[in-house]
Amino acid sequence: MQMQEDSLELLISIGHLARVYRRFDDARYLFERLALIYPQRAFPYLGLGLVEVDRANYRGAARLFASALAVVPDNALACAWLGTTQVLDGHYALGARTLMKVVGSDEPSASSMAMAFLKLPECAPFINANANSALAAGAAPPAHAAAPLSTIERLTIRGRY
């Protein structure tokens, strides 16, 4: 069983490496095949969604992250990415509501991403007082957040699904 998990980790890594090198068709092909094999797991839909984020197709990415949540409703990372893409697509109120579900989750990368995006001025009008105090108590956004970065640099995630 460990060998199968190791092989799966390798395939996921290859898919993300293809994304980083902007080989989007190859990454999409791999994650689509993984979705056929593992339709009830979130990681193939997360991979496909990240391909669309890298392509700046935020609406398409949001649909894929919603698919990940449909199969694994409590996946904090999928929820964080869904909220992030909603914000990037200009749906600030919807994105803020989605991201607020993730603040304080057990998944540190999801929680920190949600907090960073909720601190954007565009999201501020849509955050309730309780969420504002949680954000104020939370960690500050990464120091590089203010620097102009490409979509890939801003949104590439390194972690396990």
Between 75 and 157, whose confidence is greater?
75
Q: What is the mean pLDDT of residues 79-103?
A: 96
Q: How far apart are CA 9 and CA 133, in angstroms?
A: 38
Between 1 and 118, whose confidence is greater?
118
Using a 10 angstrom Cβ sphere, with 0-12 exposed, 13-18 middle and 19 or more buried, the burial of residue 139 is exposed
Q: How far apart are CA 16 and CA 10, in angstroms?
A: 10
Q: Which two tokens stand for residue 37?
A: 């094999």
Residue 33 has pLDDT above 60, yes or no: yes
- Lowest-pLDDT range of 52-56, 133-137, 153-157: 153-157
Classify domain 2-155 by CATH architecture: Alpha Horseshoe (1.25)
- Lowest-pLDDT range of 5-19, 34-48, 58-72, 84-98: 5-19
Portion of the chain with pLDDT greater than 70, in percent = 77
Q: How far apart are CA 148 and CA 9, in angstroms?
A: 32
The answer for residues whose C-beta is within 8 angstroms of residue 139's C-beta and 6 or more apart is 112, 115
Amino acid found at 41: R
Q: How many CB atoms within 10 Å of residue 56?
A: 14
Q: What is the mean pLDDT of residues 117-128?
A: 89
Residue 143 has pLDDT above 70, yes or no: no
The answer for residues whose C-beta is within 8 angstroms of residue 131's C-beta and 6 or more apart is 100, 103, 118
Domain ranges across the chain: 2-155
